[in-house]
């Protein structure tokens, strides 16, 4: 049985920050096509700040929900782009989902992922099909929940989430942007992957790798 303590969650932020740094140029290039070319920079700033804040905590004396709230605050302070409040809300909702726990079991980890997706959706008011990060996050959260409910373990459930995110991000190429900066392009946004959906795949896959051992 998997248990994820505060130190493991801090490690998750290091894993996400590393993956996003590696992906930064591709994310900026994708945003350059349908946005303002800063998405990789914004995500790197946000996750570096979140990693620095959570790795500075005394993990033995900090609950998972406190760590996630700290990540939310530092992400928001570091990022001026629209991804700032979206991911900050994700981590705040993740914190609320695991409030009072000293460690997360498999169901808690999936609940955290689902709360994050719901937080992004509540904050940004985007629906699936509007060419945003929700096109990766919503199906990922759903797939993880379905896999867990079907009796799969955390590793398999997070694999299902990452696969669904990848499929969802790919599908944004066929969508016309209806939310955010890219919506100004209308039909000219067709044919291009949404940068926020692309980075969501990177984030979710880093979560999978760091939590699924």
Q: Contact residues for ligand ADP (CB under 6 A)?
A: 31, 35-36, 38-39, 42, 81-83, 86, 120, 124-126, 132-134, 179-181, 194-197
Whole-angstrom CA distances from 50 to 2, 7, 30, 56, 69 are: 24, 14, 23, 10, 10
- Kindly tell me which of 97 and 126 has the beta carbon lying closer to ligand ADP: 126
Residue 128: exposure state from Cβ atoms within 10 A (0-12, 13-18, ≥19): middle
Residue 143 binding partner per list Mg ion, ligand ADP, none, with a CB distance cut-off of 5 to 8 Å that depends on partner kind: none
- Kindly tell me which of 35 and 94 has the beta carbon lying closer to Mg ion: 35
Q: In the complex, which residue's CB is closest to ligand ADP?
A: 196
Residue 86 binding partner per list ligand ADP, Mg ion, none, with a CB distance cut-off of 5 to 8 Å that depends on partner kind: ligand ADP
- Rg of the chain in Å (alpha carbons): 16
Binding site for Mg ion (CB under 5 A): 31, 35-36, 38-39
Instruction: Write down the least CB distance from residue 195 to ligand ADP, Å.
Output: 4
- Kindly tell me which of 152 and 181 has the beta carbon lying closer to ligand ADP: 181
- Kindly tell me which of 46 and 64 has the beta carbon lying closer to ligand ADP: 46
- Kindly tell me which of 39 and 131 has the beta carbon lying closer to Mg ion: 39
Q: In the complex, which residue's CB is closest to Mg ion?
A: 35
SS3 content of the chain, % helix, strand, coil (to 5): 75, 0, 25
Whole-angstrom CA distances from 145 to 45, 47, 49, 132, 142 are: 30, 25, 29, 21, 5
Contact predicate 49/78, CB 8 Å: yes
């Amino acid at each position: 049985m998997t248990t994820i303590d505060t130190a493991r969650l801090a490690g998750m932020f290091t894993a996400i920050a590393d993956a996003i740094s590696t992906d930064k140029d591709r994310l900026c290039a994708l945003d350059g096509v349908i946005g303002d070319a800063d998405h990789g920079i914004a995500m790197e700033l946000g996750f570096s700040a979140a990693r620095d804040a959570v790795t500075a905590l005394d993990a033995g004396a900090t609950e998972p929900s406190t760590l996630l709230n700290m990540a939310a605050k530092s992400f928001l302070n570091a990022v001026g782009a629209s991804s700032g409040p979206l991911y900050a809300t994700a981590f705040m909702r993740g914190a609320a989902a695991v409030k009072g726990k000293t460690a997360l079991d498999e169901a808690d980890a999936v609940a955290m992922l689902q709360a994050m997706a719901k937080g992004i959706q509540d904050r940004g008011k985007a629906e699936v099909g509007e060419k945003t990060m929700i096109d990766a996050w919503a199906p990922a959260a759903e797939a993880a929940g379905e896999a867990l409910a079907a009796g799969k373990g955390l590793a398999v459930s997070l694999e299902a989430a990452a696969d669904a995110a990848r499929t969802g991000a790919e599908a944004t190429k066929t969508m016309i942007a209806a939310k955010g900066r890219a919506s100004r392009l209308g039909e000219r946004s067709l044919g291009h992957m949404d940068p926020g959906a692309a980075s969501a795949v990177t984030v979710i896959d880093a979560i999978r790798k760091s939590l699924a051992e």
